[in-house]
Structure 1
Amino acid sequence: MASRVRPSSLLWGLFLALGGVALVLRLWAPRHPALTWITTSLLTLLAMRLVTLVHDWRLGRIPGTRILLPALILTEGLGLVLTQASHRALQLRVGTALILELLLLILAMRAWRTARALPGIWPEDRIATAFEAFVPPRAARLMALELVMLGSAVRFLFGGFREAAPAGFTHHREAALRAILPAVPLMIPGDFLLMRAISTGLAPWLRWTLHGSTIYAVLWLVGLYATLKARPHQFREGRLELHLGLLKSAIVPVSRVLSASPLPEFEDDWARHAHMKGVAKLVAKGNAVLELRLSEPIQVTGLLGPGRPTRRLAVSVDDPAAFLAALGQSCA
């Protein structure tokens, strides 16, 4: 039986589609008459979503704090429509927005302070749990992952690169990312010059947004390498804990591992693609890769949460011989 599409998913899908059209028109035709109608439609959809959130809150399905952020966005959006309205209406809009922003800030600070006391091994799990008071679980997880990724990058750049990797089976020393990173910062000046040459007709805010996205991408790559180094594969109490930085993780009971071996040689990319179909990959490019076959399926946790069950894993490791020896000892 086909799964039913939730009305909230339809609302968000339509909201994102209209938002994309509005962004394109805003960039290329700022005075296009359709912008007014699209803005009105977006605010209507957001108001409908707010009504459903209030309904869920009254039924006890979500905390009341989940209403604050959509209410703030709706209030700010209405401010754009009411810009030409009376001075009293504008004052009401600004006052409401300030109250909501202050309340949201106070509650966010409280959630951030209590995140350290929440259960969970990794900081992104604790932060995501705190953020779920304001946004849906998947959005909370993405926000937490971004914060931890950027925080790891900053820490790494300010001395973390001298720290030794934790005990375990690393997969950062032979990763291609390690060879690429030293050259990445050298590309930033060239990117600034290139963007200045090809984007002279763009608005200044858009040019700076593009420059900022380049710096963000560099920080993201540094953060990925830092988390690869900080989270090696480990054997703990009969379990194999696998990581691909912040991107993926899996916990495999050692008793479920039927076999572990290096990937075979493939004649071409088609043969490799056929062999890897259905395999969950925790692979840092450039490393040796082992294939683990399991007696029972497990789920690999990705950016948006647990994925599909799988009985086959591809795992990168710097020292495959030592990893296989440790796996054999754990299985014995």
Structure 2
Amino acid sequence: MTPMSANAPSPRAHRAPPRLALALLACLLLYGIDLACVAAVPADGLSYASNFALPFDLMVCVPAAFYLLVVRRAQLSPLLVLPVIWLGGLVSLQLAVPEQPSILPLLGVATLAVEAAVAVREIRRFVRGYRAARASSDNPLDWFAGAFCVLVRNERAARMAGLELAMWYYAAASWRCAPRVPSGYRAFTSHRQSGYVAVVGVLIGLMAVETFAVHMMVARFSVAAACTLTALSVYTVVWMVAETRAVVLNPLLVGDAELVARWGMLVCERVPLSLIARVGADEPAVPKRERLDLAAMGGQACWIELERPLEVRGAFGKPRLVRALKVSPDDRAAFTSALRPRS
């Protein structure tokens, strides 16, 4: 559950787009001035202007302006300055006069030093954020999103990046892990009676056959396109495997005071038991936009109707209100009895 105030946009968030636009305009203005000066400089001064003045402006002055106007004021990661430096170096390299003395090699070495320093600093911040998030949550998505939030300070962007790492965690590093069941909670699986794992396995097998056939057909016209489609199919399979592992490792949890409704990598919501009005198989008279569907394909539906709306977050942190949850515990009777005495 996410508090309403936590998701309210801050004044800084409202000022960020105009500030970013002004900063980009200032950087483009500096680029325009430099290029105009290089175009107007006499022939005897072209070597100095192209090999010394222009690289210094584009690789030092423009990134410094971007850092002061955007990164520092908005408390963003210094990693955002690196692409500005790279762009300045690329433009300077294209306009440099060959076989003449140039400051570009020196600036290239300085850029590598800056990249190393920024990378070390940001990696340390990322690790600290990851450790803090892991100490306060048992959800891998929260671990990685918390780490990225230290760098980008934007919850939605952090969750998108964290979801990518969480996917690889479940696909590659979770095979020896057991379901996480905190002390004082009962776990209710959702994947056994529905045959969810078997269905996903069949889909992966069909995708493998289809991917091979499509690759062979498309390769007759374009090898690059065939390889791209195959890579996308492999990525989809990895995602399906990761989501299946997440479903297995994240069962529904019922404690003394709350229900932890989880499904795969994407959803983990805490519902106070005092908020539950009804539990049963009958579909409630609640609009679809106010429902949260956490049921497995082919599973027996168990509806949880709430006394009042509960704010939940989507996969990328966007809040919405729900008044009913649909789950599919393998042991529906035991799950219902675990909730009803407290409802």
Normalised TM-score (structure 2): 0.68
Shift of 1:106: 1.3
Specify which of 269, 281, 294 is matched with residue 282 of structure 1: 294
Q: Secondary structure at the match of 1:292?
A: strand
Kept after mapping to 1: 8 A contact 2:207/2:233: no
Alignment match, 1:247: 266
Q: Secondary structure at the match of 1:304?
A: coil
Inter-CA distance 194–301: structure 2 relative to 1 (3 Å threshold) = same
Shift of 1:208: 3.3
Q: Write the deviation string for residues 19-54 of structure 1: whole angstroms up to 9, x where unpaired.
A: xxxxxxxxxxxxxxxxxxxxxxxxxxxx99996874
Q: Secondary structure at the match of 1:213?
A: helix
Kept after mapping to 2: 8 A contact 1:53/1:67: no
1:76 partner letter: W
Shift of 1:218: 0.7
Alignment match, 1:85: 95
Alignment match, 1:29: none
Q: Secondary structure at the match of 1:318?
A: coil
Inter-CA distance 52–282: structure 2 relative to 1 (3 Å threshold) = farther
Q: Is residue 321 of structure 1 aligned with residue 333 of structure 2?
A: yes
Q: Secondary structure at the match of 2:328?
A: strand
Distance 1:107 1:233 in 2: 39
Inter-CA distance 210–164: structure 2 relative to 1 (3 Å threshold) = same
Kept after mapping to 2: 8 A contact 1:82/1:89: no
Inter-CA distance 241–164: structure 2 relative to 1 (3 Å threshold) = closer
Kept after mapping to 1: 8 A contact 2:126/2:150: no
Specify which of 232, 238, 244 is matched with residue 225 of structure 1: 244
Specify which of 223, 231, 255 is matched with residue 236 of structure 1: 255
Alignment match, 1:28: none
Specify which of 136, 142, 148 is matched with residue 160 of structure 2: 142
Distance 2:282 2:292 in 1: 14
Quick check: which has more Rg, 1 or 2? 2
2:278 partner letter: S
Shift of 1:253: 0.6
1:173 partner letter: R
Alignment match, 2:304: 292
Moved more, 133-142 or 218-227: 133-142
Alignment match, 1:129: 146
Distance 1:316 1:48 in 2: 56
Inter-CA distance 58–77: structure 2 relative to 1 (3 Å threshold) = closer
Q: Which blocks of at least 5 consecutive residues in structure 1 are unaligned?
A: 16-46, 266-271
Inter-CA distance 209–110: structure 2 relative to 1 (3 Å threshold) = farther
Q: Is residue 171 of structure 1 aligned with residue 181 of structure 2?
A: no
Distance 1:252 1:196 in 2: 50
Distance 2:247 2:105 in 1: 50
Distance 2:201 2:292 in 1: 30
Q: CA RMSD in A?
A: 3.7
Higher relative contact order (CA 8 A, sep 6+): 2
Kept after mapping to 1: 8 A contact 2:275/2:306: yes
Distance 1:283 1:71 in 2: 44
Q: Write the deviation string for residues 210-262 of structure 1: whole angstroms up to 9, x where unpaired.
A: 32221111111111111111111111231011001111121111011111111
Normalised TM-score (structure 1): 0.70
Q: Secondary structure at the match of 2:173?
A: helix
Moved over 6 A (4+): 47-53
Distance 2:155 2:107 in 1: 29
Kept after mapping to 1: 8 A contact 2:145/2:162: yes
Alignment match, 1:103: 117
Kept after mapping to 2: 8 A contact 1:50/1:70: no
Q: Write the deviation string for residues 85-111 of structure 1: whole angstroms up to 9, x where unpaired.
A: 216475466445533432343134323
Q: Is residue 180 of structure 1 aligned with residue 199 of structure 2?
A: yes
Inter-CA distance 201–316: structure 2 relative to 1 (3 Å threshold) = same
